[in-house]
Structure 1
Amino acid sequence: MNYPNRNKNLESSSLKSGESGVDRRPLVLAVDDNHDNLELLRQILDLFGCECVGAVDGYTALSAAVDRVPDLIVLDICLPDIDGIELVKRIKQNPKLIHIPIVAVTALAKTEDRDRILQAGCIAYLSKPFNIKDLETILRHHLNYQSLLVEF
């Protein structure tokens, strides 16, 4: 069969260098030592159109972030090995990771806890249980990602 416009169509639809055929989903590293909380975060992030990598402790989270640099980190502060504040400091000391926005999602709800967490380098703070709309707002703002619109 003859396809007279075949080459022309292929040329006009070819991708420019550096473009991908599919929009890349933002990668979010979720860190929580409670497996139920981590699974809930994964499901919420998936609904928001994000790809999620999970970690249950600080060392695993740091290793995961170095291996595959995320666009954003959602971090529980109370972890079994190193606490979230120490993890934030280690992330901020790594030139490869320093730019990653970190959102604290924690049961620590005192004003002094919030201030300490933000001073450590987190860009936002949500206390558990958190409002899903608040997380969505933070994600949309810091990921510049408009496809996160989900009705709850």
Structure 2
Amino acid sequence: MTMDTPAGQGPKRVVIFDDDPVCRALHRAVVEECVPGVVVVEADEGIRGMAAVMKHTPDLVLADLALPNIDGRRVVRELKAMPKVCHIPILVISSVRLGAIDVHPMQQGVFLVTKPVARDDLKSMIMQCLSVKRVVPGFEPSILRGEIYCVFDQQAMAFALGTDWRCQLEVLGLFVALADERLRVLDQVRLMRLPHFESRTEVHGMLGSARVVGANRLSYRLAALVRAIEEDDLMLIELYALEAKDALEAAVAAVRGHMDSISREASVEILDRIRARQDDPGKRIGEV
């Protein structure tokens, strides 16, 4: 069994972020005592921890607030803003005063305790978090089914473009044709080679077209990238620009496949219209 197995299948999985190796070891021991056979992934800072959560979609996250490179409050906000992982309960264990995290803790599945915490109390909190139903009030159930986070949502595309295959082919074709240039722009954004104003403008443009064609995973990554640019967070700019590049490449591949399908269906439709016109020469093709 690999760590990429979807959450809810196989053993429980927990990601622990803490820059203190002693605290990580303690938290691992308590988790393993609570949940026999659990798979634990550790991270010593926030960026690696967020990447581990995105990769492994664990059943629980244990996070410190005082993290190197990125504040733990920001980690919680970012994870709760990501549709793929927003449903995962987060247990914040910190010696830092908790303060505002900008999410409603219990509603959003964020549990807060202050170090030092008694071992039995920590075990109870871990078991409580693992028993939380993985639903986040305020989000549509379709997000939890993975539809909103899919690479290419044909229903969203049809909602924006309509069902006329000519319009779909024209707009989707333009999206594909612009992909190479947009990948280069994302590289420039990632490497900080554009002024922030220009980066934000470029990414906003990509975000609009991603939403129009139903490239939902790309939309979420670009939205996160816009926030990182606005907050001048260089590490998150690099992270989200890389994720946006991957999402763009995946979206282009999916859109190409859909365009091929449209073209095949359109060819059949045109042939049917031509045959119908041959049967009744008085009708124009568009009237059939």
Change (3 A) 1:103 1:80: same
Residue in 2 that maps onto 1:131: 118
Contact between 1:104 and 1:117, CA under 8 Å: does it hold in 2? no
Residue in 1 that maps onto 2:94: 106
Residue in 2 that maps onto 1:116: 100
Counterpart Cα distance in 1 of 2:93 and 2:101: 10
| Farther off after superposition, 115-124 or 67-76 | 115-124
Deviations 1:45-87 (A, max 9, x none): 1111232111000100011011100111110000011011100
Offset of 1:118 from its aligned partner?
7.5
Higher strand share: 1
Q: Secondary structure at the match of 2:122?
A: helix
Among 18, 27, 32, the alignment partner of 2:18 is 32
> TM-score, with normalisation over the residues of structure 2?
0.39
Summarize the alignment of residues 9-24 of structure 1 with structure 2, pairs less than 5 Å apart: 24=10
Gaps of 5+ in 1: 1-22, 146-152
Contact between 2:13 and 2:59, CA under 8 Å: does it hold in 1? yes
Offset of 1:120 from its aligned partner?
6.3
Contact between 2:28 and 2:40, CA under 8 Å: does it hold in 1? yes
Contact between 2:91 and 2:112, CA under 8 Å: does it hold in 1? yes
Counterpart Cα distance in 2 of 1:116 and 1:29: 23
Counterpart Cα distance in 2 of 1:131 and 1:117: 24
Matched, 1:92 2:77: no
Amino acid in structure 2 at the alignment position of 1:83:
D
Matched, 1:44 2:30: yes
Gaps of 5+ in 2: 1-8, 133-288
Amino acid in structure 1 at the alignment position of 2:128:
H
Q: Secondary structure at the match of 1:65?
A: helix
Counterpart Cα distance in 2 of 1:144 and 1:118: 24
Runs of 4+ residues over 4 Å off in structure 1: none
Change (3 A) 1:118 1:90: closer
Higher helix share: 2
Q: Kindly name which structure, 1 or 2, has the bigger radius of gyration based on alpha carbons.
A: 2
Q: Over aligned residues, Cα RMSD in angstroms?
A: 2.1
Residue in 2 that maps onto 1:53: 41
The one of the two structures with greater contact order (alpha-carbon pairs below 8 A, sep at least 6) is 1
Offset of 1:131 from its aligned partner?
1.4
Identity of aligned residues (%): 27
Amino acid in structure 2 at the alignment position of 1:138:
M
Counterpart Cα distance in 2 of 1:125 and 1:141: 12
Q: Secondary structure at the match of 1:28?
A: strand
Change (3 A) 1:139 1:46: same
Among 52, 62, 68, the alignment partner of 1:74 is 62
Counterpart Cα distance in 2 of 1:80 and 1:47: 28
Offset of 1:117 from its aligned partner?
3.9
Amino acid in structure 2 at the alignment position of 1:65:
V
Amino acid in structure 2 at the alignment position of 1:144:
S
> TM-score, with normalisation over the residues of structure 1?
0.70
Contact between 2:65 and 2:92, CA under 8 Å: does it hold in 1? yes
